[in-house]
Amino acid sequence: MKKTFLTAFILVLSTALITSCTWRTEDVDIMDLIDEEIEETEETEDEEEVEEADVVVFSPQPHEEVTFPLTVTGEARGNWFFEAELNLKLLDNDGNELVEWFATSQEEDWMTMNLIDFEGVIEEVPEGSTGGTLVIEENNPASPEERGRDVWTFEVPVVF
């Protein structure tokens, strides 16, 4: 009788232990899947929402006194470029456009979400201007209706 009880007890305990391990494994797998889904969702949201941090301007620095020709260098995410170019604008202190030009990608693979080096040169500015804003602007040929949003811009105040 003791042998039968002991055998039954061991069998029940083994079954419980195996079942518990299987459930725990399934729980961990489900949690891993949830974590992966959250990471994928965050990556997708990051790709869809581009913020000012997606542009880094090396030169000129904010409020720097600049001379012409003005070389503009920095990095921007690849989705700011179209045909390896993005737009440069120079506005006066009243927000009037003085010059519109472009910067080009310094890398062959610009069709990426990574930061891509760019460089552009603004040759001159109309006389009489004393300062304003350098605007780095996404080069997007789609209309505002097609985009469903405003053009992305990054501004650097400068003195000239």
Boundaries of every domain in the chain:
1-49, 52-159
Order the strands of the 64-65 sheet from edge to edge: 55-59, 70-77, 115-122, 97-105, 85-92, 131-137, 153-159, 64-65
Non-local (6+) Cβ contacts of 71 within 8 A are 59, 119, 120, 121
Average pLDDT per consecutive 10 residues, the chain (160 residues; last block may be shorter): 60 58 51 60 51 82 95 95 95 94 92 93 87 95 86 94
CATH class of 52-159: mainly beta
pLDDT at 12: 57
pLDDT at 51: 47
DSSP H/E element including 17: helix 2-48
pLDDT at 147: 84
Whole-structure pTM value: 0.64
pLDDT at 25: 47
**Strand-pair category, 153-159 with 64-65:** parallel
pLDDT at 115: 93
| CA angle centred on 122, ends 118 and 70, rounded to 5° | 85
pLDDT at 130: 87
Helix (H, G, I), strand (E, B) or coil at 97: strand
pLDDT at 129: 83
- Tens digits of per-residue pLDDT, 61-104? 999 999 999 999 999 999 999 999 999 999 999 999 999 999 99
Non-local (6+) Cβ contacts of 64 within 8 A are 158, 159
Hey, which residues does 153 pair with through a beta bridge?
Answer: 137
Amino acid letter, 41: T
Helix (H, G, I), strand (E, B) or coil at 68: coil
pLDDT at 88: 97
